[in-house]
Amino acid sequence: MRRGDPGVPPEIVAALAEASRIGAVGHVGPDGDALGSILGLTLAARAAGKEAWASFGEPFVLAPNLSFLDRSTLVSPSELPEGLDVVVVCDTAVRDRLGSVAPRVDTARRIVVVDHHPAGDGFGDLHWVAPASATAEMVFRLVAALGWPIDEAVATALYVGIVTDTGRFQYSATTPETHRVAALLLEAGVRTELVGEKLFEEAPFGYYRVVANVLGRAVLEPDVGPVGLVWSVMYRADLDEAGIGYEETDGLIDLVRMAREAGVAALLKERDRGRFKVSLRSRGSVDVGELAARFDGGGHRNAAGFDAAGPPDEIVAKIRSALP
């Protein structure tokens, strides 16, 4: 990717090139794509001689499997400076998803939104929303168009964003361009064996107990909707019993979704008493992004989610009724 990439909006390139003090923020509970994007962008900005900070809204807690990334630009929401020249919002185009960092974002002279999700609420001054495999792929193109350095730390952060959001390059949004970008990141020094170990081959022993509980209460409903439904629930009590944190459980949905008899999977994860984050997955015939949008959530055709309150049986009943 060379300076002047025609796919990157030139007004966004100009805004960042002219800025001296830059922020990058992700959504609450950042996944690998959101965190990798904000770290990659701000690390590259600092390497280019800019002042730069990354942040996300409370709870200001990172999943341990992402803690190996260079977090030297990361600050809590209260530490993100006010009045920055530009703040780049990554991996969401919905202001409410910024949580407690949103008021700091509002003070910026200019707000740029970079996201690969189709839904948004129109906030921000400049927008780049495109159907890329991951927001980190877009951030790579932006950094390259700016001519900023892409060293090992920048490349690793962006590679983590891509490899997590593509399901290790398995999901349908993965394109030849995705692999070309990944190749350039590898050339910049990404250690794939380290990334693979930290992301996919480590977990606390207590996670085994949570997996056993969640899979033990899984329900298969092969006659629901056009392709069948499999679902389960994770309760806070599961985490307390196992002695692990909520942020350790991102991989559970990938276990629930493996049932070949179901084309749609749902996992309800209790955040607080009676309040759940619902993760949805599809094998392709059902658009779960559209389904999630009915409940004020969002995502992609094959991976989406929403927040809900109430008994799990009632939440699952709503999912059943929304299936085509």
The token duo for 72 is 């030297």
**What pLDDT sits at residue 279?**
97
**What pLDDT sits at residue 7?**
87
**Sorting pLDDT into bands at 50, 70 and 90, what band is 298?**
confident
Q: Could you read off the pLDDT of 106-120 as tens digits, one per residue?
A: 999 999 999 998 877
**Sorting pLDDT into bands at 50, 70 and 90, what band is 299?**
confident
The token duo for 301 is 């055709």
- Average pLDDT estimate for 264-268: 98
Q: Which of 108, 89, 106 is nearest to 97 (CA)?
A: 89
CA distance 320 to 324: 9
Looking at every residue in the chain, the average pLDDT score rounds to 95
Q: Cβ distance 83 to 19 under 8 Å?
A: no
Q: Could you read off the pLDDT of 178-227 as tens digits, one per residue?
A: 999 999 999 999 999 999 999 999 999 999 999 999 999 999 999 998 99
**What pLDDT sits at residue 72?**
98
Q: Look at residue 49 and tell me whether its pLDDT is greater than 90.
A: yes
- Average pLDDT estimate for 137-158: 98
CA distance 273 to 130: 37
**What pLDDT sits at residue 1?**
43
- Average pLDDT estimate for 37-54: 98
**Sorting pLDDT into bands at 50, 70 and 90, what band is 2?**
very low
Domain boundaries defined on the chain: 10-200, 206-322
**What pLDDT sits at residue 51?**
98
- Average pLDDT estimate for 273-290: 94
Give percent above pLDDT 70 in the chain.
98
Q: Could you read off the pLDDT of 223-233 as tens digits, one per residue?
A: 998 999 999 99
**What pLDDT sits at residue 220?**
98
**What pLDDT sits at residue 121?**
80
5-19, 66-80, 185-199: least confidently modelled range: 5-19
- Average pLDDT estimate for 65-83: 97
**What pLDDT sits at residue 6?**
56
- Average pLDDT estimate for 162-184: 95
CATH of domain 10-200: 3.90.1640.10
The domain 206-322 is placed in CATH, from the list 3.30.360.10, 3.10.310.30, 1.25.40.340, 3.30.450.20, at 3.10.310.30
Q: Look at residue 35 and tell me whether its pLDDT is greater than 50.
A: yes
Lateral strand order in the sheet of 51-56: 51-56, 21-26, 86-90, 111-115, 126-129
- Average pLDDT estimate for 70-93: 98
